[in-house]
Amino acid sequence: MTNADENPSLKWWVLATVIVGTFLGRIDQNIVNLALPKMISDFGITVSTAGWIATAYILANAIFVPIWGKLGDTIGRKKIYVLGFSIFIFGSVLAGFAWDFGSMIVFRIIQAIASSADYPTAMAILAVTFPAGKERAQALGIWSSSFAAASVFGPLIGGPMIDMFGWRSVFLINLPVGLIGLAMALTFIHESTSEKKTVVFDWWGATTLGIVLSAMVLVLDKGMDWGWLSVNSLLCYGTIAAFSWIFYTIERDHAEPIIDLKFFTIPLFVNALANNFIMFVGLMGSIFLIPIFAQTFLGYNATQTGMLFIPMAIGLMLAAPIGGSLIGRVRANIVIFWSTLGAALAIYLYTFIDAKSTVFELSIPLAIMALTMGFGMAQRTAVVAAAVPQSEIGIASAILALVRNTAGAFGIALFGTILQYSEKTRVLSIAQNSIIRSHDPEVIRQGVALIELKAQVAAYSDVFLIASILVAIGAFAALFMKLDHDLPMTQEQEEKLLMAE
- Is the Cβ–Cβ distance between 57 and 29 less than 8 Å? yes
Average pLDDT over the chain reads 77
pLDDT digits (tens, 9 = 90+) for 119-146: 677 777 887 787 766 677 677 767 766 7
Select from 198, 169, 172 the least CA-distant residue to 80.
Answer: 198
What does the pLDDT average to over 141-166? 75
Q: Rounded distance, CA 142 to CA 145, Å?
A: 5
- Euclidean distance between the first and final Cα of the chain, in Å? 26
- Is the Cβ–Cβ distance between 67 and 76 less than 8 Å? no
Select from 146, 425, 152 the least CA-distant residue to 290.
Answer: 152
CATH number 1.20.1250.20 given to 3-202+254-500:
yes
Neighbours of 378 (CB within 10 A): 34
pLDDT digits (tens, 9 = 90+) for 177-234: 889 888 888 888 877 666 665 566 777 887 888 788 778 877 876 777 788 889 999 9
Indicate if the pLDDT at residue 343 is higher than 80: yes
For residue 291, is the peptide bond before it cis, meaning its omega torsion is within 30 degrees of 0? no
Select from 60, 106, 65, 112 the least CA-distant residue to 88.
Answer: 112
- Is the Cβ–Cβ distance between 112 and 55 less than 8 Å? no
What does the pLDDT average to over 331-341? 85
pTM (2 decimals)? 0.70
